[in-house]
Amino acid sequence: MKIAWIGTGVMGKSMAGHLLAAGHGLSVYSRTKDKAANLMARGAVWANSPQEAARDAEIICSMVGYPKDVEDIYLGPAGILKNAKAGAMCIDFTTSSPSLAEKIFKEAKKKDIAALDAPVSGGDVGAQDGKLSIMVGGPFSSFKRALPIFKYLGKTVVYQGKAGAGQHAKMVNQIMIAGTMMGMCEGLLYAKKARLDPEKVLASVGGGAAASWSLANLYPRILKKDFKPGFYVEHFVKDLRIALNEAKRMRLKLPALTLAEKLYRQLKNSGGSRFGTQALIKELERIQRHKGT
């Protein structure tokens, strides 16, 4: 199968690699060509633009940074939908806005192109291991057609409903992660202040009701002062802002989400934009120092 892949960042390069390893023909485009070097060394063909990558592809996948990037590559003057052939399918794995997913679906349908929004969760480790959770929105017939692709990339693949539903499900995911990260980091600060051994605390709470993916995977990174990104702070801020905007549109007040967005935005603005989300501990430590406690 001819597949185009747009975006070879922290997660995209691993996801595209699984499709390449499965024997599919792969054309790739990324704003930074060096990020696709490993894929090209394994047989992927470089394309000079998203539309060039998409032109002869049966499946067009994207994993980029921001909703504006998604809009540009799909709906721009030289975008994918102006160049993809009838009968092709577009799958956007980017976490983006539900309304944009709906717009892309409608525009694609006019050109006899299928479109799915399929944001993922699982970070760099999930992408590397092919064990992502994939949340899919769009026609069920398109979902069934794309299922073989999803199975290369994810362990949990769930059809959520019509176009935009995948993005809404991802907002739920990000809201829950935000709350978990605040609790985990504050718990670690408490443990240190109480002069507990953080490793022993992890052994206890990780085996009880407080257990979570973040606790198992990110707490140990914090203890090692490893703030390399599995998922960038700047992208998480973008996601939380989308969730807040959607909540406002639905007349839903979410105070914990509001606080999380504020804390992560402060972390981003203080130089932490390219850290992983576990770097929230830095912002909370900064607050403690500022208050002199």
Q: Which residues pair with 132 in a beta bridge?
A: 154
Closest C-alpha among 121, 124, 117, 123 to residue 97? 117
As a whole number of angstroms, the distance between CA 92 and CA 84 comes to 14
Asked if 40 and 47 touch (Cβ cutoff 8 Å), the reply is: no
Active-site annotation holds for 170: yes
Burial 256-287, CB ≥16 within 10 A → b, else e: ebeebbebbbebbeeebbebbbbbbbbbbeee
Asked if 143 and 136 touch (Cβ cutoff 8 Å), the reply is: yes
Q: Annotated catalytic residue: which of 103, 109, 110, 170? A: 170
Asked if 38 and 8 touch (Cβ cutoff 8 Å), the reply is: no
Q: Which two tokens stand for residue 140?
A: 């069920």
Burial 181-190, CB ≥16 within 10 A → b, else e: bbebbebbee
Q: Which residues pair with 116 in a beta bridge?
A: 91
Q: What residues are annotated to the active site? A: 170
